[in-house]
Amino acid sequence: MVTLLKRRKGDNKESNSEQKEKLKKAKAKQKSKNEKSKKQKSNNQEDNVVKPKKKFKLMSKRKKRKEKQLVMASGTMYAPSSGYTSTPSIIKSGNRYGTVFKIVNTYGMNRNQTLGWAVNLIPEINVEGVKGYLFTESKPFGQKEQSNYFKNIIPDTEKTYIVNDTGNVNSPSDEKRRKARLQDFEDASVLDGDRNIALDLRIHVLIVGDNPDDIQDQIHNLNKLYGKRISGIKLMSAAGNQEQLFQDLLVAKEGGDSNDYTIMSTLYAGFDHALRRGLNDKDGLPIGELSDSHTKGQAFMSLNNSFKSKILIASHKESQIRGFSERLSASSLWGQLVANNAMMYGHRTFHLVLNGHRYYGDIERSQFACPPSLNKHLQYVDLSKGGLNPIQTFGDENASEEEITNIFTNTKEKLTQIVYLASGRSLYEEKQDLIDMIEDFYINSKIWVPDYPKRSKIVGIKHPETVKTFGDFIRVLNNNKKSVRNEDNATEKDKNNAKSLHQTVESALNTYSKLFNTTTTLPNHKDENKLQWFYDVSNIANPDIREAQFINAFDYCTYTAAPNDIVMIHGVDKISVETMQLLKDNLDRLSDKGVRLAYAFDTIGSGEAKQDVPRADIFNTDGILYQDLEQQFDYTILGTMSKTELANYEYKVKQDLNQELESALMRDAAMQFLLRRPKDLTSNIVNPAEFII
């Protein structure tokens, strides 16, 4: 039994061992399976895990812009920082190519060219898809730089040319150029001694096309054209990086000279007057044919929109406009065109006429008149028939105290000048007495209240028939004459002055009573529907009385003028310089108010003959109408000149014009006019002048 038990125990032991082994293998297999599953699960979890986002700050606009600039500055071949890629021979931007060339002129080949020859340097393009641009740049020498140039460089160069050590073949043409070069050095040295400024000049051409081959074709054609039209001119490749060369064209040259070309400013001067591009304003009116412009064709000028403050028109009596009688004032016809253009924009023009100009629809005036249908916008007043009381003052009803004082002061000067002119300009010593008596007359008549100007009856007069006249003032002069005569302490001179004053005014009133001794019958309030007013004093034969009536009417004619309205004086040359001086403050006040001023002269200079009474011209009104003839007028329109007038003109504009331009301005051409507009450097000659008004 024990044996059996032992045997069974051994069997169980053996069986357990097998089971353990199987269990062990199963566990190992399960463990392997579990590890494999765990590993796979771990991998899946890693894939599915969302990584946390990094925290970041929002960049400011300034920082973003700076970062963007840094990226752009670094650039790449495909996205260059400047938008350009370039080589020494070509520059590319987008799908366009360009090349910068230097213009080279063989010395002496173009020495005798006529005015404006250099315009032929502008590249003429004849290859499709190609464009050409001409760049010129000038820079004045500094004082030290010019001094060194003329003390050291020019003398050494002159020596080289004198000994003919230039390396050129000694042919007749070379010898001619050598002598011409020496003459140029001599002329330049003389101009330097006359404090003339030397200029450094560079000229380049930029050719742009769709591909480099087109550019090469165009350059080949250009060199042929240059060689044919302006011998000695050719294009030369400019050394350096094309992008840098292009940038240099667009900025002012600084530092030392470029050593391309050197020219004296006197020779360069006149380019300011030289005839530039054609005159083709967007909203311009046709004014004539461009005779000397490089573009030729019809000129179109915006006369109103170019007119901001004041303009000057001057021509001789022989000047004329095509299609109009030669007896009409050419300057006034230009002025009328300006006024009509202003009327198109709703602006009024007040014409003060001394030269007979008339633009009104009178059927009996067959020589020149506007269409009668236009009369509803025009008003003509013949001031030779009177209608204005010199004693009455005119001004804005809402004038300030200062303005009222100015009006009264101006009235005293006006009345004194009227009496002076009526005396045949013989009133001198009596002037101060007259001014004092006029002031007392206004005070005693309770028109002027010195301590309270606003209480004065200077402006806003609604009943002109109640205003005192010169007849009332004569009684004051008569009483003064008697008083002085009976005064024990009065000198003979005092008595003569009092007598002279009385006689002068009385004589003027007897002869011209309808001008100076009536109440105002012209309307105080002007019709707003009228856009042009003509106040004509030209029918008065006596020049002194005509001038006196012009002064009498000036304030009445202009006091209603509003900003952008025009006050136009026709025949300024009919007015004496002393009267223009008297009107200066009035004109300045109008200008300060925003009223535009137009001066039309029927002469340019006064001529060489001496005048008993100097009359106004464009030169002797310096300091009255302008301080700078070249810059202070929005535009000037000038007819042809005499030699003396041209010399005076050059002096006033501070330029010595070249010979060709001088000849152009002195032509025997009645229909030629020079138009200059400083704002955009317009300078053109129209011949013939032709327009419709």
Question: What is the rounded CA–CA span in Å between residue 659 and residue 114?
Answer: 9
Distance set, CA 259 to CA 138, 182, 200, 255, 450 (Å): 11, 18, 7, 12, 71
Contact predicate 475/505, CB 8 Å? no
Q: What is the pLDDT of residue 2?
A: 35
For the stretch 293-324, pLDDT in tens is 665 689 999 999 999 999 999 999 999 999 99
The reply to whether 395 and 252 lie within a common domain is: no
Q: How many domains does the chain have?
A: 2
Question: What is the rounded CA–CA span in Å between residue 60 and residue 505?
Answer: 84
Question: 290 in helix, strand or coil?
Answer: strand
Which of 489, 521, 553 corresponds to the end of one domain? 521
The reply to whether 99 and 232 lie within a common domain is: yes
DSSP sequence for 230-267? STTEEEEEPPS-HHHHHHHHHS---SS--SSEEEEHHH
Which of 213, 233, 268 corresponds to the end of one domain? 268
Quote the domain boundaries for residue 407. 389-521
The reply to whether 254 and 394 lie within a common domain is: no
pTM of the model: 0.69
Residue 183 in domain: yes
Which of 204, 238, 268 corresponds to the end of one domain? 268
Residue 32 in domain: no
Q: What is the pLDDT of residue 5?
A: 34
For 385-491, where are the alpha helices, taking DSSP H only?
401-422, 431-444, 470-486
Q: How many Cα atoms occupy the beta-carbon half-sphere of 325 within 13 Å?
A: 7
Q: What is the pLDDT of residue 181?
A: 75
Question: What is the rounded CA–CA span in Å between residue 212 and residue 98?
Answer: 8
Q: What is the pLDDT of residue 178?
A: 75
Residue 653 in domain: no
Positions in the chain whose pLDDT score sits under 50: 1-9, 50, 55, 77-78
Residue 34 in domain: no
Residue 536 in domain: no
Residue 606 in domain: no
For the stretch 485-513, pLDDT in tens is 888 888 888 888 888 888 888 888 888 88
Q: What is the pLDDT of residue 469?
A: 93
Residue 372 in domain: no
Q: What is the pLDDT of residue 284?
A: 93
Q: What is the pLDDT of residue 9?
A: 46
Residue 578 in domain: no
